[in-house]
Structures are given as C-alpha cells and as structure tokens.
Copies of this chain bind each other. A is one copy, B any other.
Amino acid sequence: MPIITLTTDFGLKDHFVGAVKGAILKEFSEASIIDISHQITPFSITEAAYVVKNSYQNFPEGTIHIIGVDSEISQENKPIAIQLENQFFICSDNGIISMITNEIKPDKIVEITIQNKMEYRFTVLDIFVKVACHIARGGTLEVIGNKIDKIKKLYEIQPSINTEQNQIVGSVIYIDNFGNVISNITKSIFQNIGKGRDFEVIARNYTFTKINKKYNDIVDFSIPIDKRQDDGKRLAIFNSANFLEISMYRSNLKTVGGAANLLGLNYRDNITIRFK
C-alpha cells in the first residue's frame, strides 16, 4: 500500500481534508493516507517546512508527501514534484523545499503542467491528488511535468555565524504544542563552530550555560519527590529533531503557559550562542 501523507493549513473542521482524502481513494483505492498536520498556521511555509523536515525521514521509501500550504497556482507560484532520498514531495515552488532539504540535493525536480489542460477546483484537491496517485501507481515524474533544475530558495531559516567564529545568532522558527521555543540552531552547527568550547545561550533576558540531552536532566532525583519544585524550570535542550530549544520543564501552553509566553519569546526572535 503506497503511503500518501498530507501536511496542510486547512484545519480539521472544514470539508477540505475530507474532500482530498475522498479524491485520493476514488483515484487510487489502495492508497494509505497518513495525516502529518493540518494545523499549520495559514500560509506559513516556515512552519510547514519544519514539520515536514522532521517527519519525512521516518517514513518508508516510496512515500509521497503532499504539502498543501500556500499552493494557489500563479505565474510566480508553480506546482512542483520532487524526488529526494527515494521519497516524493508535491508542493508549490515557494521556497519550502529549500527549507526542508537545505543540505540534500533533490534527485529530480519537475514543474507540474497537468493543470494547464484541465478545470480544477483547488490545487491540492485536483492537481496534487492526481500527481500523488500517478506516482503511487508507479508513474514517472516526467509524465506530469517538465524537468527543471532550479527551485526557489529561501535562506531565512539559516542562523548566522560571525567572522571570529565565536557567535551563532539564530532565530525562533517554531513553537510547539508544549510552548517550547525552537531555534534554527542545529546540534551539528553548534558542534562544528563550538568545537567543545564553553558557551552561553542567550534568549531574551535568560542565559543558559548548559544544553541538556533530556528534559529531566534538570531533576535532582536524590531529593524526595514531594520536595521537588522542578515544574516550570527553564532549560536549553537539543530536541529530538536536533534543534536548540528553550523549554520550561513540564509546561502547558494552555494553562500555566510555556517557554514561549512566559519568557516572552516569539517567532523570529533571536537566540544567540556565544563561545568563550
């Protein structure tokens, strides 16, 4: 059963997601449809890129990923299909692929052209579904479009490093369900620049001199459990996707708050690492 995943900003209330799933199953009844997220902030290709980047490598070879964010077709926003590490991505050429794959070169890119010969309702429902089912049936990319070499690049997701190589200035790219604030500073950039030196992480008014491996590294298990006051403690961590994250231990964005609102950190705010 070929897997088709969906990442969109459609939300879960409207008919859009149901309509797309119906259309996939009508076109190719053996498809296995997996939701990655439909809660992407409307039109946010940065968020969509973060979510897809940290999901896709977990899927089996041959998986087809539909990304339905900012996908209305125009002369500046063409639909594309990409083959990358034996998986497939169908999305718009709006820079999202450059943010998903910054270090990996796609094996093949085509600009989709099937929309030129048909009436369609919305891009994902009629164009992306048709392309996904074509690939799922074993069809080649060349049949649904023209091979191209270049796609739109967006670099906003990259942190900057000073010439002395002792400072990395990153920025907040994502805030997760727990209110954790995620920067664009990866563990590998940190290690390549830091080379084991001491450092401080600076996020607004807060400084961290340690980056944890696990959230509960901050817990002192020798203290009796009913005497501990760890909930809400600030910490820096490389998260499971290997990005530097500012977190509050066992926080809850909807009640007591999380790192994002309690520390006053928001999208695009700077997170800086200074090496000694």
CB closest residue in chain B, given A129? B58
Q: Is A166 positioned at the interface, with any CB of B under 8 Å from its CB?
A: no
CB neighbours of A38 from chain B (8 A)? 12
CB closest residue in chain B, given A178? B42
Contact of A252 among B41, B63, B214, B252 (CB under 8 A): B41
Q: How far is the CA of A7 from the CA of B225 in the complex (A)?
A: 26
CB neighbours of A41 from chain B (8 A)? 252, 254-255
CB neighbours of A23 from chain B (8 A)? 58
Q: Which of A39-81 contact B (CB under 8 A)?
A: 39-43, 50-60, 63, 72-77
Q: How far is the CB of A194 from chain B (nearest CB, A)?
A: 21
- Number of A interface residues in the complex (CB < 8 A): 72
Contact of A72 among B22, B33, B57, B216 (CB under 8 A): B216
Contact of A59 among B22, B42, B57, B76 (CB under 8 A): B22
**Complex contact B215–A72 (CB within 8 A):** yes
Q: Is A154 positioned at the interface, with any CB of B under 8 Å from its CB?
A: no
Contact of A74 among B40, B59, B77, B221 (CB under 8 A): B221
Q: Which of A5-37 contact B (CB under 8 A)?
A: 5, 7, 9-23, 25-26, 29, 32-37
Q: How far is the CB of A44 from chain B (nearest CB, A)?
A: 8
CB neighbours of A214 from chain B (8 A)? 72-74
Q: Is A156 positioned at the interface, with any CB of B under 8 Å from its CB?
A: no
**Complex contact A240–B125 (CB within 8 A):** yes
Q: How far is the CB of A76 from chain B (nearest CB, A)?
A: 7
CB closest residue in chain B, given A43? B250
Q: How far is the CA of A37 from the CA of B22 in the complex (A)?
A: 13
CB closest residue in chain B, given A7? B18
Q: How far is the CB of A247 from chain B (nearest CB, A)?
A: 12
Q: Which of A60-113 contact B (CB under 8 A)?
A: 60, 63, 72-77
Q: How far is the CA of A16 from the CA of B50 in the complex (A)?
A: 11
Q: Is A176 positioned at the interface, with any CB of B under 8 Å from its CB?
A: yes
Q: Is A121 positioned at the interface, with any CB of B under 8 Å from its CB?
A: yes
**Complex contact B14–A34 (CB within 8 A):** no
Q: Is A206 positioned at the interface, with any CB of B under 8 Å from its CB?
A: no
Q: Which of A123-151 contact B (CB under 8 A)?
A: 125
Q: How far is the CB of A208 from chain B (nearest CB, A)?
A: 19
Q: How far is the CA of A39 from the CA of B17 in the complex (A)?
A: 12
Q: Is A219 positioned at the interface, with any CB of B under 8 Å from its CB?
A: yes
**Complex contact B39–A18 (CB within 8 A):** no
CB neighbours of A22 from chain B (8 A)? 5, 34, 55-60, 63
